[in-house]
Structure formats: structure tokens, C-alpha cells
Amino acid sequence: MTEANTLFLRLEGPLQAWGDTSKFVIRRTMEAPTKSGVLGLLCCAMGLSRQAARERLKELNGLVMGVRIDRCGTRWWDYQTVGAGTGLTTAGGGLKTGAQGTLITRREYLADASFLVALQGEAKLIHEITRAIGSPKWPVFLGRKSCPPSVPVLAMPRQDASWTNPSSYDGLKAALTAIPWHPRYKTDATPQNGTVEALVEWRPASEGDVAPDDAEVWYDVPVCFDPPVHEPRFVLRDTVSPAVGEALQGPVPAMPRPRADYTNAEYRKRRKERIKADAGLCVFCKSPGPRMTVQHVTYQRAGGNETLEDLRSLCGLCHDAVSMLEYGLGMGLDRINPEDPRWRDLIIQKRAEILQFRSLETRRRRLAAEEVE
């Protein structure tokens, strides 16, 4: 345990935002967690203010970071106003420097993303931040304070897993490969060609090493949080081939749905009471109709527990028109109330269509009979 050099963080939530060079009124997000964002998360867990963190940043920057993009998420924009004329306050209740009025910004987020972050460094520091993440002094967030995590940030192995956290690995790529990739549902597609994209920090192995040509420069190494000062680092895009584990969530059972039971004695009794309460007339066209029936305006209590308010008397034609509208709209438990004025024109139109179809069908049958004769 004392030799552990790798810590794993699971960064997953409804929204995440990892700013790089975003400033002023348009705040974009990077495609994956930045080093400054992750170290800021660690400082929150350790209870370090922006000023106090300056003394520890040099040590924390010694950690090498790799990110596995398990679920890239969807980019999403939000329009925000901050301050509301009262000034922008800090978590401690003070006023931010120069923040006196309302700040209007457009902010970009990653929705429904999931990342596995591996941090490698000295065993003593790894164990210190492990304890801090396990019992944070301040709430941690995913880039912005409005982005809380939806799962524990300290990644924990599932039952019977072969890995531990923290642990020891020879290199970031080996660490990111060792942790299984879990689909959310069994029906989710497995990684293409069995590989998952990863962003691995590159550092020279010896003096004079030159970064590869395909290395990217990310300006996200924090020197100071207040004011924000960052230095560059090299990041390599790579792929890893982790094992595919079990789905994180089982199948969602369908909600129980009450269904009408037209043979139920209680329903038949309530049906007669409804027709009697409506004086034996259709509540829509006021016709007695040869096929007087009742319409469910809701199926919340269907199956024998219906009340009088759940039913409406309708003639056969109006019942067919209302039913066709309901199926066409894909309605659920709550259906059309034919007494509601907003449905009047649609029901009249559907009645006309049914009558026209029946008239054409009658003529077709008569012509077919005459041809046979």
C-alpha cells in the first residue's frame, strides 16, 4: 500500500465544464477535464483557499495526469446572469475583486459525460489526496460550482474486481487500461474496436527529449488561482483497450399501467351509473345513439376502481372519433375529455372523416355486389 503511485478519480455528472482559455462573457469548455480543474477539485477536498493553494500547487503540479474518455457527453449552452447588482461573492462571504455589478455570460457545458482520471506521483502525496477526496472538507465540483458530481469522485472497484484505488502502475496508459470500461446499460454499444480514447500528459524522460509532432499544448497547469495564471503542458491523444465489464445499471422495469377490464362487475355498474347521470345522451353530440357507451377520460383507476368522473357517455360515432384522436396522439393514462372545448373542432373533423369513409365503403360494397349479380 505504501508503494501506491496512482490515484483514480471518476468525474461524472449531469453537467461538467472544464475551461481552458475561456474568459469574459463567453465561457467555453474543453472536451475533457483540465489539469487546473482537477487540481482545483483536489484543493477543495483539502480545504485550501485560492491563496493558500499557491503554496501547494508546485507540489501538486508534480502529478502526471491521464484522462480516459468513457463517455464524451453532449455540448450544451446556457445563458446566465451573475451578481444581480449586489456584487459577486466568494464562498467565504467576501466580495470578489472588481465585481460590483451584474455579469452576463454564455456558458458551455458537457452534458452526461464520464471520465476516468489517473494521477501518478509520489506515494506520500497520493495517499494524502486520497484521504482528502474520501472525506472532503469543502464540496467538490466538476469545473464549476453549478456542476456537482453524480457518483463518488474517488473511484471504487466493484465487487470481485481485481484493482484497488490507489494502486501502483508503470505509466499512465497501463493504469487507464487496467480499469474496466462499464457500459451504462446492457444495450449500450461497446467501444469501437475495443478501444477507448485517452489524453495522456507527456513529459521528457531525460534532458533533451523532444515532444512528438502530434503532441497538443494545453495551457492548464495552474501557477496561481487568484489571479489565474497557467503554464503549458504537452498532451498526447492515444487509445487504450480496457476490459468491458458489466453494465452499471440493470434494465428499468416498466411502470405498472392500469388497464380497463370491461367484464369487471364494478366497471359495468359504474358504466350504467354514468349513462344514467348523462340522461342516456352523448355528452358531445347530445344524441341517444344506438350504441351508447362510455369513454375513459383517464385510466388512472381503470380495471374496476373507476369513479363517475373518470367516464363520459358517448355515442358510437363520437367514441370512435375520440379514440382515433387519442391513438393518433399517442396519449397515455390521461385521455381526451370530450366536454373540453379545445377538442371540439378536432372531434367534429374526425367524425366527418369517419362518416365519409363509411359512405365510400358502403358504395364500394354495393358496387361489388352489383358486379357479382
Query: What pLDDT score does 20 carry?
Result: 75
pLDDT tens profile 7-52: 999 999 999 999 876 666 788 899 999 999 999 999 999 999 988 9
Set of cell numbers at residue 234:
504537452
Helix segments in the chain, DSSP class H:
35-46, 50-60, 123-134, 172-178, 265-277, 316-329, 344-372
> What is the rounded CA–CA span in Å between residue 360 and residue 268?
35
The amino acid at residue 254 is A
Set of cell numbers at residue 27:
465561457
pLDDT tens profile 329-373: 999 899 999 999 999 999 999 999 999 998 888 888 888 777 766
Query: What pLDDT score does 26 carry?
Result: 81
Helix segments in 193-330, DSSP class H:
265-277, 316-329
Q: How far is CA 104 from CA 20, 75, 82, 85, in A?
A: 19, 20, 6, 11
Distance between start and end Cα atoms, the chain? 97
| pLDDT at residue 297 is higher than 90 | yes
255, 297 contact by CB (below 8 A) = no
Q: Which distant-in-sequence residues (6+ apart) come within 8 Å of 205 by Cβ?
A: none
| pLDDT at residue 100 is higher than 90 | no
pTM here?
0.68
Query: What pLDDT score does 80 carry?
Result: 77
pLDDT tens profile 134-168: 999 999 999 998 899 999 999 999 888 889 999 99
> What is the rounded CA–CA span in Å between residue 373 and residue 371?
5
> What is the rounded CA–CA span in Å between residue 216 and residue 205?
18
Set of cell numbers at residue 226:
487568484
What band does 288 get if pLDDT is binned at 50, 70 and 90?
A: confident
> What is the rounded CA–CA span in Å between residue 230 and residue 20?
9
Supply the mean pLDDT for the chain: 89
pLDDT tens profile 303-322: 889 999 999 999 999 999 99
What would the mean pLDDT of 214-243 be, rounded to a whole number?
93
